[in-house]
Amino acid sequence: MNYLILSTITFLPILGVVILLFIDKENHRLLKGITLIITIIDLILSLPLFFSFDGSSSAMQFVEKVLWIEQYGISYHVGIDGISLFLVLLTTLLSAISVLACWADIQKRVKEFMICLLFLETGMIGVFISLDLFLFYCFWEVMLIPMYLLIGIWGSPARRIYAAIKFFLYTMFGSLLMLVAILVLYFYNFKITGIYTFNLLDFYKLTIPYHIQIWLFMAFALAFAIKVPMFPFHTWLPDAHTEAPTVGSVLLAAVLLKMGTYGFLRFNLPLFPSASLDFIPIISILAIIGIIYGALVAMVQKDVKRLVAFSSVSHLGFVMLGIFTFTIQGMSGGILQMLNHGFSTGALFLIVGMLYERRHTRLIEEFGGISKVMPIYATFFMIVTLSSIGLPGLNGFVGEFLILLGTFKANTTYAVLAATGVILSAVYMLWMFQQVMFGEITKEENRKLKDLSLREIIVLIPIILFIIQIGVYPKPFLSRMEPTVKNLITHVYNKADVRR
Amino acid sequence: MLQPIIPELIILITALSILLLDLVLKEKDILGYLSLFGVLVALLFAVSTTQYGSFFSSMLVIDPFVIFFDLLFLLAVSITILLSLHYLAVEEKVHGEYYSLLLLATLGMMLMVKASDLIIVFLGIETLSLAIYILAGYLREEVKSNESAMKYFLLGAFSTAFLLYGIALIYGATGSTNLNTIASYISQENLLTNPLLLVAMGLILIGFGFKVSMVPFHMWTPDVYEGAPTSITAFMSVGVKAAAFSAFLRVFLSSFPSLRANWVEILWILSVLTMTVGNIIAISQENIKRMLAYSSIAHAGYLLIGMIAGGELGISGMLYYLLAYTLMNLGAFGVVIAYGTKQQENVLIKDYGGMGFKYPLLGFCMSVFMFSLAGIPPLSGFVGKFYLFSSAIKEGYIWLTIIGVLNSLISVYYYLRITVLMYMREPEKEVTLSLASPALATVLTITTFFTVQMGIFPSAYLELARASIQMLR
């Protein structure tokens, strides 16, 4: 009995939207309060997913399936496994934190903002739980609109519209080609089995001829590579991140980027195993370029947010590298690092946002010596920075270590190159931290800055706790992933006997 | 004996009564309501038709295809009448002839889809076109309206001449103008490579191409749409296009199925041109009516994909798409009408700045229509495009689908631009709306609701489309 828990978690925010529609738009407190309550309820509802998850099974759990558009064989089919479990939890947690984080930040059109946030949450969770390709595509596209509005309406006035349109068109370009691939898959399945269906689990059973696999792999990969973002499809990211409002950046970095890597794990690898194995060199090299290039560009940024944006490119390069090692360590490391990146980078954007709220600038040169006036802030900032770098004892280390372990097994050269990325990330993060927080107070305005308020501390505490927990005792997370990862690798190697 | 054409007779009688009553009545609004009443009565009769078959010595045919399109036309004209009630009051130009002509145009459309003889097709097209030519120039005092009527008339007459010439050549080649007779004659005498026939087919294609705004026969569309009264533009973009497609489908699928290999090739090129030209030129438009004109050209291109793919999926996909498109386009024009007054037409795209927050309901409706036209789930526009693209992939037209999909992306830019202006920019000038009438509110509610509903729960409509084409081949 699963009590339709996944659907409830997904559509509860829509109920929130309906409630919000009846509230007067001037009553900001009530609007924010209700949104917060809804997201917290959603978070609480998602906790049983973690605790009741059968860690020994690689099958889909909490499955719900209902026929939707019969003529096409489209069903409303959802479920989670060891990969998507954590992404759903990450989404609910960060959505709740985001609502609390933007409490003081958003003053204009609060009602519409909260409605956008709730729609976004539904879309994000929907993407991770869909097991029907048509449903997945719907959620994938639907999720674009609230993000586009968030960036375009509440972003920083300078280039928000440009960033929003770029984000929308770039992502949609990839997904439209993915739509063509989905349709080809659908009709190929009909040709083989005689049944019209979009059920992903049925598609897993197909053995697709190699020449078709290559094209389908590329079409899907394009859509996901844009989302990750992999080099050279990453150019939308710095603009979208810098111009988005704080909460937008948090959700974009923490959740939306994961959809790209999730897509590779859920679709590209199991559906097109031969193609996946053949693409290892290309993807790995692009990932390494992403790691090093992202780090190098991050080093020369003057804007803190843009620096963090490029660090995302770098970190997600690690994830992609880990996934394409096809070793248990590499893949588990990759999935764990997806979670870790969500926490660390999400926290980084929150922290940068807090500084922006006080000084309305993100330029590094405008700061300096902040730790003197904001000690609590400095502590949190330090922890998050170290987590991002991958200091042992914190979450980043576990993920990166596992990834590098897997990469060493697969290809030593790649591992050596990737390891330099670790050093580079330490360089730009510590340099940034030093410029902003240490040294003398060079600007007078910085003297009067107030330290963290209670609300801001509450926003950061859950993330810090997870950062430490995963760093010290990652077993509960890794153990739940393991069967799914093992199953995926076995599936790929079994089916990859199909050759040209 | 007159049973099959009862809906047409009702429309005709209503149209004539309105003309007569117009002479006597002072209160012209009643004529609008009377026309609506007539349409609804005709709708009732059209839906309850049970007799299928050929009538009037095989001049007319009634089948589920006809019922579907009759429903579509009557739906389109009733929404147009509601829009007109508001629009004509705003423009302070209420005349009975308007409603009469609108009904006569509908009569022409209904005749076109029932035709199983080329002469009847021609008759239907002319009835429709003449009424629309006059309606396009309805705003007599405005130069643009006069220009649009003249342009449409001249170009329309010219293209109908192509159609007529084609019909004449068909008669020369096959000895008949009856669609089924032509088909059997072609296969019997094995005329597949007869040059006369191929030329005739090309000429008929040109005639229809003009009416559906295919490139390169589309040049009239932006100017005519821009100049005509907005309620007529709305009607033209959905009703006339749907009627033209219905006749196009009927003629080409009934008479020329054996020549498929020939016309599919040409249509492929025309479809790609139509989509691409429509979408690319729409980007640079400053006037929303012109933008919607180019968008409707692009949508004709998408519809042609369904025709190229053929098969049950392709043709029923076109029917679903026409229904979805009718509703969302009428809705979009409804918003355009709502947003203007007689003094201040507000048809420039930049006038839409800040509309989303100043008039939230109107902004929301417009957003729904823009997203649906762009093909974003879970709206009806997406399902329609999905249906058409699937049909193309099923028949192996992968490149056509890729081009279609990339065109959708291009179109996203200019549809999204409207939402950008509505929500992300400040209003540049003070905009006052005409007072909302219940008629306009009804239109916007119905169109918005169904655009969303047809997208989330499309099964019933897909089934309807599928059932409508059963007897077509």
Enumerate the residues of chain B whose CB falls inside 8 A of the CB of residue A180. 389, 393, 398, 401-402, 405
Q: Min CA distance, A52 vs chain B (Å)?
A: 32
pTM: 0.88
pLDDT of residue A48: 87
Q: Which sign does the torsion angle of CA B53, B58, B64, B68 carry?
A: negative
Task: List the beta bridge partners of residue B287.
Answer: B348
Residue of A144, A176, A184 for testing the chain B interface, max B β-carbons within 10 Å: A176
Among chain A residues, the shortest Cα distance to B385 is held by A179
Q: Residue B210 in contact with residue B155, Cβ under 8 Å?
A: yes
**A179 vs B458: CB contact, 8 Å cut-off?**
no
Q: Min CA distance, B190 vs chain A (Å)?
A: 34
Where chain B has pLDDT below 50, the residues are none
**B405 vs A179: CB contact, 8 Å cut-off?**
yes
d(CA B464, CA B462): 5
Digitized pLDDT (tens) for each residue of chain A, 500 residues in all: 467 888 888 999 999 999 988 888 788 888 889 999 999 999 999 898 888 888 777 788 888 888 888 778 888 898 888 888 999 999 999 999 999 988 888 788 888 899 999 999 999 999 999 999 999 999 998 888 899 989 988 888 888 888 988 999 899 898 888 999 999 889 888 888 888 888 888 888 888 888 888 999 999 999 999 998 998 899 999 989 988 998 999 999 999 999 999 999 999 999 998 888 889 999 999 999 999 999 999 999 989 999 999 999 999 999 999 999 889 889 999 999 999 999 999 999 999 988 888 888 888 888 888 888 888 889 999 999 999 998 998 999 999 999 999 999 888 888 999 888 889 989 999 999 988 888 787 777 777 788 888 888 898 999 999 999 999 999 988 888 888 888 888 888 887 765 54
Residues 6+ apart with CB under 8 A from A87: A128, A255, A258, A262, A338, A339
Phi, psi at residue A196, to the nearest 5°? Answer: -90, 110
**B377 vs A138: CB contact, 8 Å cut-off?**
yes
Task: Name the residue ranges covered by the structural domains of chain B.
Answer: 258-473
> Which stretch of DSSP H or E encloses residue A304?
helix A304-323
Among chain B residues, the shortest Cα distance to A163 is held by B420
Q: Min CA distance, B412 vs chain A (Å)?
A: 8
How many beta-carbon contacts under 8 Å exist across A and B? 76
Task: Name the residue ranges covered by the structural domains of chain A.
Answer: 5-495
- Residue A71 DSSP code: G
**A109 vs B424: CB contact, 8 Å cut-off?**
no
Residues of A with CB under 8 A from a CB of B: 68-72, 109, 112, 134, 137-138, 141-142, 144-145, 148-149, 152-153, 160-161, 164-165, 168-169, 172-173, 176-177, 179-180, 183-184, 186-187
> Which stretch of DSSP H or E encloses residue B386?
helix B380-394
Residues of B with CB under 8 A from a CB of A: 357, 371, 376-378, 382, 386, 389-390, 393-394, 398, 401-402, 405-406, 408-409, 412-413, 416, 420, 423-425, 458-459, 462-463, 466
Angle subtended at Cα B149 by Cα B143 and Cα B150, rounded to the nearest 5 degrees:
90
d(CA A242, CA A303): 8
pLDDT of residue A500: 41
**A183 vs B389: CB contact, 8 Å cut-off?**
yes
Q: Give the one of B371, B406, B424 whose C-beta lies nearest to A176's C-beta.
A: B406
Which ipTM was obtained for this model? Answer: 0.83
Enumerate the residues of chain B whose CB falls inside 8 A of the CB of residue A198. none
d(CA A314, CA A333): 15
d(CA B122, CA A403): 71
- Residue A80 DSSP code: E
Q: Min CA distance, B397 vs chain A (Å)?
A: 11
Angle subtended at Cα B295 by Cα B291 and Cα B103, rounded to the nearest 5 degrees:
95
List Cα–Cα distances, A178 to A224, A225, A273, A471, B206, in angstroms: 9, 11, 17, 36, 35
Task: Pull the structure tokens for residue A420.
Answer: 């330099």
Residue of A24, A141, A183 for testing the chain B interface, max B β-carbons within 10 Å: A183
